[in-house]
Amino acid sequence: MSVVAIDQVHKRYGALEVLKGVSLSVDTGQVVAIIGRSGSGKSTMLRCINGLEAFQSGSITVAGHDVQQEPTKLRELRKDVGIVFQSYNLFPHLTVSQNITLSPRITQGVKAADAEVIARRVLSQVGLLEKFDAYPDMLSGGQQQRVAIARSLAMRPKVMLFDEVTSALDPELTGEVLLVMEQLAKEGMTMLLVTHEMSFARSVADLTVFMHQGKIWEAGPSKELFERPTTAELQAFLASGV
């Protein structure tokens, strides 16, 4: 059953058409990698999925929410759809556990003791339970990004969106973050991830989508797509060693 259904979405910034009729269906538990050059519309697509950007035509349904039709219900939508960015933006004056419990406590009215249980659960998921009381500046970039993922998981999302979450990290720190994402995928989380990590996309994602000039140019099962790219544009992109 599809948990994300994107149908003929067109998105413009002024005169610039950034998404030119994008359609994509993602089933529960599927992992979809989105690849493509800078400026091809990858981030815009993710931002449309959780209502951070409006679009001019088409429709997006996520976990039963019609993104465009329910602007007043964005909070409910965002509870079901977690998004993690390249910049992790943890609050520096709050501990790891406080960063994680803030949103459940404020937006869902979760009691302090229950929020703590949630924090322990999600920190275990990302392998950082021992950092419960640490402050963000005591952690490496990779650890901070894992806390940001944990913070998102605390809302019990049905879908997780990741936008180049390892791009700001030193190469030696990307592996630990990719491992957390791989683990999440194995646990059955539905995920859409924009990434430059081609070997990760190939080995972890069920489907890979190549975006080019605001369109889904080519898409398919990851191994097939990487082994036998059919369009000249994807062939050139893969050959460029991005």
If binding is defined by CB under 6 A, does position 232 make contact with ligand ADP?
no
Task: Tell me phi and psi for residue 19, to 5 degrees.
Answer: -120, 125
What is the distance between the alpha carbons of residues 72 and 53, in angstroms, rounded to a whole number?
Answer: 14
Q: Report the C-alpha gap between 238 and 69 in whole angstroms.
A: 38
Site for ligand ADP in 32-91 (CB under 6 A): 36, 38-44
**The binder of Mg ion chosen from 30, 40, 43, 208 (CB under 5 A):** 43
18 binds, among ligand ADP, Mg ion, none (CB under 5 to 8 A by kind): ligand ADP
Stretch that binds Mg ion, among 38-46, 64-72, 117-125, 214-222 (CB under 5 A): 38-46
Please identify, using beta-carbon distances, which residue of 39 and 71 lies nearer to ligand ADP.
39
Alpha helices in 67-207 (DSSP H): 74-80, 96-108, 112-125, 141-153, 171-186, 198-204
The nearest distance, CB 45 to ligand ADP, in angstroms, is 7
Task: State which residue, 138 or 242, has the beta carbon closest to ligand ADP.
Answer: 242
CA distance 219 to 106: 39
Only one of the segments 36-44, 93-101, 176-184, 195-203 lies at the binding site for Mg ion (rule: CB under 5 A); that segment is: 36-44
- What is the x/- site pattern for ligand ADP, positions 8-27, by CB under 6 A? -----x--x-x---------
Give the nearer residue to Mg ion in terms of CB position, either 99 or 145: 145
Does residue 41 contact residue 19 with C-beta atoms inside 8 Å?
A: yes
Conformation bin of residue 147: beta by default, left when phi > 0, alpha when psi is -120 to 50: alpha
State which residue, 43 or 144, has the beta carbon closest to Mg ion: 43
Neighbours of 239 (CB within 10 A): 9
Nearest by Cα to 223 from 191, 240, 195, 199 = 199
Kindly list the distances between the CA atom of residue 238 and the CA atoms of 104, 148, 242, in Å, as whole numbers in the listed order. 41, 30, 7
Residues 183-212, mask of contacts with ligand ADP (x by CB under 6 A): ------------------------------
Pick 43 or 174: Cβ nearer Mg ion: 43
Non-local CB neighbours of 231 within 8 Å, separated by 6+ positions: 210, 212, 217, 218
- Taking the complex as a whole, how short is the minimal distance between the CB of residue 19 and ligand ADP, in angstroms? 8
Q: Which residues bind Mg ion (CB under 5 A)?
A: 42-43
Q: Which residues bind ligand ADP (CB under 6 A)?
A: 13, 16, 18, 36, 38-44
